[in-house]
Structure 1
Amino acid sequence: MQVWRGVGQVPTDLGPTAVTIGNFDGVHRGHQALLGALVRTARAAGVPAVVVTFDPHPAAVHRPGQAPPLLTGLTDRIELLAGSGVDAVLVLDYTLDFARTSPEDFVLTYLVGALHACAVVVGEDTRFGWANAGDPTTMAALGTRHGFAVEVVADVAGTGGGRRWSSSWVRELLDAGDVAGAADVLGRPHRIRGVVVHGEARGRELGYPTANLGPDASGAVPADGVYAGWLVRGGTERLPAAVSVGTNPTFDGVTRVVEAYVLGRTDLDLYGEEVVVELVEHLRPMLRFDGVDALVAQMADDVAAAARVLGV
């Protein structure tokens, strides 16, 4: 899959394309339905399937300091989009000046001018252009005016009462520690990506050395607690892990930390490596213990529980 950071990287000899637009935070099952429709439309027309997305997320630009945490950083978003079968992703730099682009100018500049769209596939909730004035009806009218077909994909309802798949639903589930529920909406385990940094080394002293993710890790952090999951290194090596999220209250910690103990491994040196932690199931809440012995006993139980969940 090709990745173009701005229209300047789009090949000048690019022919017609089928295009969709969106933030695609989390690339959840609703997004996957839209992307599947895009790929089918592109294959039927014999043209590349192209996703137009934005970085940073518009909410971070319009509401700095108040925007909800992203489910996926740009690296993971692009990786997940590639997994959907699309041929290219155009990442547009989202700024306040960019946000003032009218719906028609957005379509003419990017979809028609840069990408030569012959088909545009959008979801029912797609909004674009200044003040989100553009919607599927707007896109259909612009398609008629500028010569491209428009396909509107209906919202996809999930389980549990028919609520539509959405990024906000995933955030609610993560805030409640329900990583299994979040995985159901996402269609895969929720992931946090970060560089392993030095911590307090308490885990190593207790016999359970952990890989601590640095403060710049991407991916929304779930509720404090202990989880069964996987630590993925090098993009392919998946190691079973017990994952702790919280402030280490037994030691009066104040900083929230995501740390993963790879089951049965005390020999790993992951410092400085970028790893991905995938969260599979919540095991217990974060607790304060009366002493180290009680904590170590609970950690042994956590490791056994994680092994059962992960089938290792």
Structure 2
Amino acid sequence: MQVFTDLDQVPDGFGPSAVTIGNFDGVHRGHQAVLGRLVHLARADGLAAVAVTFDPHPAVVHRPESAPELLTGLADRLDLLAATGLDAVLVIPYSLAFAAQDPEAFVTRYLTAGLGARSVVVGHDVRFGRDNSGTLATMVELGGEHGFEVVAIDDVGECLAESAGARQRWSSSAARALLAEGDVAQAADVLGRAHRVRGTVVHGDARGRELGFPTANLGGIAGMVPADGVYAGWLRRPALAESDPGHPDVRLPAAISIGTNPTFDGVERRVEAYVLDRTDLDLYDEEVVLELVEHLRATLRFDGIEPLVRQMHDDVARARAILG
């Protein structure tokens, strides 16, 4: 998949293309259905399948004080978009100046002149251009003027968010609500995959190593961190996967702890992963991805080292059973 972060990077004569537009935070199952429809239409008509997305998220620019925590950082969003079969993604740097464009200026600059759009796939609730003044009707009208057809699609699917007690759409907000409660298994039903966080392994207190459970502590985290607790999951190593895809250490089973280490009066919230049965790994300064599969227990304060270590052994055994 080609990634363009500026219109100047799009080759001359690119296209013709089928294009869709969205933030695609989390690239959840609803997004995947839309993108799958786009790819199918593009292949049938001999077009390039292209998604237009934004970085940063528009909410961060317009209302930073109340912007939602993003499910995925840009690197993971692009990985997940690539997995849908897209040919290209245009990442538009979002700013107030960009948002001030009228709907026709956006369409002509980015969709038709920039990407050679012949088909535009959008939801019935699409909004674009200054003050979100562009609607589906606007897009259809502009399509007639500028030579592209508009394919409007309905919302796709729903999930049961048990905490809310009601059925909801597959949506980024539904996934956020579930992750905020630590329900990574139900969030995976919305996302169509295990939720992931990405970061670089940094030096911690080395307390885990002293207890016989050396952990990889993450810094510079991208992706929403779920509720405090202990989780079963996987530690994935993107750089190793790229250099040696068949290496057995590309994806490793792990017990993952999120919280402040209350047994040791910790105050800093941390994300750390113990790779099951491995004490030989040197992951410092390596970027890793944690995939959270199931919540094991809440974060607890223990009365001493011995009960903590007993619980850690139990956590590891449960994680091993869950991950197979």
Equivalent of 2:203 in 198, 203, 208: 198
Residue aligned with 1:67, SS:
coil
- Letter of the structure 2 residue corresponding to residue 207 of structure 1: G
Report SS of the residue matched to 1:217.
Answer: strand
Mapping 1:132-151, distance limit 5 Å: 132-151=132-151
What SS does the aligned partner of 2:98 have?
helix
1:223 aligned residue (220, 227, 239): 227
Contact kept, 8 Å, 1:22 with 1:126, in 2: the verdict is no
Match of 2:163 in 1: none
> What's the CA shift for 1:128?
1.4
- In the other structure, the counterpart of 1:176 is 181
Question: How far apart, CA to CA, are the structure 2 residues paired with 1:135 and 1:262?
Answer: 49
Q: How far did 1:176 drift? A: 0.5
Distance in 2, matches of 1:163 and 1:147, equals 36
Structure 2: how far apart are the matches of 1:133 and 1:242? Answer: 48
- TM-score normalized by the length of structure 2: 0.93
**Partner letter of residue 282 of structure 2?**
D
1:209-248 map, 5 Å: 209-214=214-219, 216-233=220-237, 234-235=240-241, 237-248=250-261
* In 2, Cα distance between equivalents of 1:308 and 1:65: 42
Unaligned runs of 5+ in 1: none
Structure 2 unaligned runs (5+)? 161-165
Aligned pairs for 1:112-127 (under 5 A) are 112-127=112-127
Q: Give the whole-Å Cα distance in 1 for the aligned partners of 2:60 and 2:115.
A: 26
Partners of 1:203 and 1:209 within 8 A in 2 = yes
- Partner residue in 1 for 2:305: 292
How far off is 1:65 after superposition?
A: 4.0
Fraction of identical pairs, as percent: 66
Q: Distance in 2 between matches of 1:63 and 1:200?
A: 37
Structure 1 position 253 matched with structure 2 position 258: no
Counterpart Cα distance in 2 of 1:15 and 1:230? 39
Q: Which residue of 1 aligns with 2:56?
A: 56
**Which aligned pairs between 1:67-82 and structure 2 lie closer than 5 A?**
67-82=67-82
Aligned to 1:19: 19
Amino acid at match of 2:233: G
* Match of residue 208 from structure 1: 213
Distance 1:190 1:198 in 2: 24
Distance 1:306 1:95 in 2: 43
> Structure 1, residues 29-63: CA drift from partner, whole Å, max 9, x if none?
00001101110111111010011111111111112
Q: What is the CA–CA distance in structure 2 between the aligned matches of 1:242 and 1:81, rounded to whole Å? A: 28
Q: Secondary structure at the match of 1:163?
A: strand
Contact conserved, 1:19 with 1:120, CA < 8 A, in 2? yes
Contact 1:60–1:67 (8 Å) recurs in 2:
yes
TM-score with structure 1 setting the length: 0.97
- Runs of 4+ residues deviating >3 angstroms: none
Q: CA shift at 1:220, angstroms?
A: 0.1
CA distance in 1, matches of 2:167, 2:144: 34
Task: Confirm or deny that 1:271 pairs with 2:287.
Answer: no
Distance in 2, Cα, partners of 1:221 & 1:103: 36
